[in-house]
Amino acid sequence: MSKYIELKRECYEANMRLPELDLVIFTFGNVSAVDRSEGVFAIKPSGVPYDVLKPEDIVIVDFDNNIVEGTMRPSSDTKTHALLYKTWKDLGGICHTHSTYAVAWAQAGRDVPIFGTTHADHLTQNIPCTEILPDHMIQGDYEHETGNLIINTFMERGFEPSEVEMVLVKNHGPFAWGKNAEKSVYNSAVLEALCKMAQLTLDINPDAPELKQSLKEKHYYRKHGKGAYYGQ
């Protein structure tokens, strides 16, 4: 019997939340869950619709993209997940979708401005949108380079992946992560909500200002860090 049954189950259940939360149609997304002690992660197989996906279909892969267990091909975005896990040691789960409003911002090529406390409850920065990869990287090891693109964007901006748990890959779509797979899906849903709210905010007031610093900090730190008083 596989020693990855629990990991596959976690990955499967997180994937099944995507259609429930209206974040995907058909096969437009994938979630992975990591087991740091084993040095592997579980990820959705490529091209399998959610309504036929089973826990045993989940593929186990190591951080160098070797298939450790599974008969199906892993998600075509696997190399992006692998590099993020390898580089950022605190990630427990990663979620990639093509959710509508997040894709629209990624296609618009704009950071999502922090307009309110819904955003500040989750991060104090504008949600970053990457640049586009140069052609030789697209034609080369594309999904691996997409991982590098995300990591470099965070380095250039001085962002910590534990504080900014989401990104828009320009002209592509969102990636989000968290301490586990479920939290990465949560962050994907929050991102989609923030993107819709921001689009409507600009529609109502094209000159809407960003949230002021004191409110950013108040809302973020009442949910995160030592002085947090939100939740249990």
The residue ranges that bind a second copy (CB under 8 A) are: 21, 25-28, 45-48, 72-73, 76, 98, 100-101, 103-110, 115-118, 132-133, 135, 138-139, 142, 171-173, 186, 189-190, 193, 196-205, 208-209, 211-212, 214-215, 218, 222, 229-232
CB 145 to a second copy: min, Å: 11
CB 148 to a second copy: min, Å: 15
**Is 121 one of the catalytic residues?**
yes
User: Residue 91 belongs to what H/E stretch?
Assistant: none
> What gap in Å lies between CA 44 and CA 186, rounded to an integer?
17
Instruction: Decide whether 89 or 136 has the Cβ nearer to a second copy.
Output: 136
**Which amino acid is residue 64, in one-letter code?**
D
Helix (H, G, I), strand (E, B) or coil at 35: strand
CB 117 to a second copy: min, Å: 5
Count CB neighbours of 160 within 10 A.
11
Instruction: Decide whether 36 or 179 has the Cβ nearer to a second copy.
Output: 179
Count CB neighbours of 5 within 10 A.
12
Q: Which residues does 153 contact at the CB level (< 8 Å), separation at least 6? A: 128, 130, 131, 159, 167
Instruction: Decide whether 85 or 101 has the Cβ nearer to a second copy.
Output: 101
How does strand 29-35 pair with strand 93-97?
antiparallel
Among 57, 62, 121, 141, the active-site one is 121
Instruction: Decide whether 35 or 108 has the Cβ nearer to a second copy.
Output: 108
**Is 90 one of the catalytic residues?**
no
Contact 98, 28 (CB under 8 A): yes
Catalytic residues: 121, 230
